[in-house]
A and B are shown apart, each in its own frame.
Chain A
Amino acid sequence: MSPAIVVSNLKKYFKVHKKEPGLAGSVKSLFKREYEETRAVDNISFWIEEGELVGFIGPNGAGKTTTLKCLSGLLYPSSGQVSVLGSNPYGRKNEFLKQISLVMGQKNQLWWELPAIETFILNKEIYEIPESEYEETLNELVELLEVKDILKIQVRKLSLGQRMKCELVAALLHKPKVLFLDEPTIGLDIVSQKKMRDFIKEYNRLKKSTIILTSHYMDDVKELCQRVIIIDKGKLIFDGQLSEITEKYADHKIISVIFSKDVDPKKLEQIGEVRSYSFPKATFAVKRGAVSVAAAELLQHYPIADLNIEEVPIEDVIREVFTGKDVA
């Protein structure tokens, strides 16, 4: 079986016009424009198997969305090859477009002034979905997302969460084999985020469709994706199992203790790097190899009520990866 998505040496550079601040800068830019090249995506390669659910993570402006746009045919790559389901997305062939879908958290395809059901019916025609298949898929999605009651309400009167659900229905009616989700949970409250995640997980399990998800929320990625691709400043810096990130980048673990009596903070420095101490709780960052020694030391020489050894939270690892620690 050939992979659903193959990306090799993808580059997308943008020419950006730089303007000095203020009116003077605007006038100056009338006569002389300075352009700067930004490397939104800089030589990225990866491939994704059919049915995989992969998370793209990276800070704002890292190049996640640009990559998705190249994969869905919105952007013309500066160089490199992209193949999705065996086609070049940029060709915009109808047979290809009928098999993919892109959901953007900040852009809607629903007709703002009309009820969502109108967009669904329009999509039925656009994707040339047979009537019976349309009915079946619609009922299934409406049930899964619990949107039965809001289909006939004008879209602009819906809440953001309701709208996103309807966006998903619209995007999935034609049963895409490849689904790109760009920040699908952005702006949603915690309950709606959770529901959205549950749905995506369930959908991937049931339909075996290939899904790429970008998100700022680590919870999305932690819950949904086994494999993650981390992009920063246009470069791919990690591609692998979520669990490997911690092993690869966190060279220490966290020991947290609850003391039963006050201790001298100065003495604690000997155990390891003190991350925080306010009686009765203290946390230490300790090198992987030295964890058991440090824990034994604590237990033997200090009044301990409770002690825990934990991995560094994935959020922290990724933050460290992004904030300059050279990881290459």
Chain B
Amino acid sequence: MAAAETNPLHQFAIERIIPLHIGRFDVSFTNSAAYMVAAVLLVTAFILLTTRHARLVPGRWQSVTELSYEFIANMIEENAGHGSERYFPFIFSLFMFILLGNLLGMIPYTFTYTSHIIVTFALAAIVFIGVTLIGIARHGVRFLSLFVPHGVPLWLMPILVPIEVISYFIRPFTLSIRLFANMVAGHTTLAIFAGFVVSLGIFGFLPLAVTVALILLELLVAVLQAYVFAILTCLYLHDALHLH
């Protein structure tokens, strides 16, 4: 199994912790599920504990919770516009779930559940289906005017409308692949450079320096990709609520 352990993609392997089968479906409790539960418990416990004895002048821990609340609330107000406040709980949970997934994965020897396309695609599909339903419920048939750009000559319409339609339906794929590709590429690059540290012997300090720099970049990317996922959700919500 030496080959499997030196394979940089070995870290993404899913292992069954509690094997469980219902009918023909494999619903085992895996390491991926364990990290998701851990992320949800961590966020919930942190927010509950820091606001339990909430004061008017916040302490250090309480201000972390308040800062993250205000950060997301401002982002939704600026990007999704009027009438989007009621979607705050969903976008806040989405942001925290992805952020914790990315950050827990930065601890060595842990599993990153956002590095699996099925997880990110499920999140993106929830956003896409939800936003489309909100748009249809709010505007009915007028929702289709989203696909017709403003102030464009009529003869360009046969070209532009299909492009708009395609760019709308491609959203869940770009949204999920962006997060998944960032996580997989980042973690694989880290594993490859970490492997060079051992194999280069005395010159191992060179890849070690690169690894330290890459970990800083990956921490930035982990936060940034959670932010990008949340802000794009806000922009899609803006389209559905206000039609351009």
Is B one of A's binding partners? Answer: no
Residues on A lying within 8 angstroms of B by beta carbon are none
Residues on B lying within 8 angstroms of A by beta carbon are none
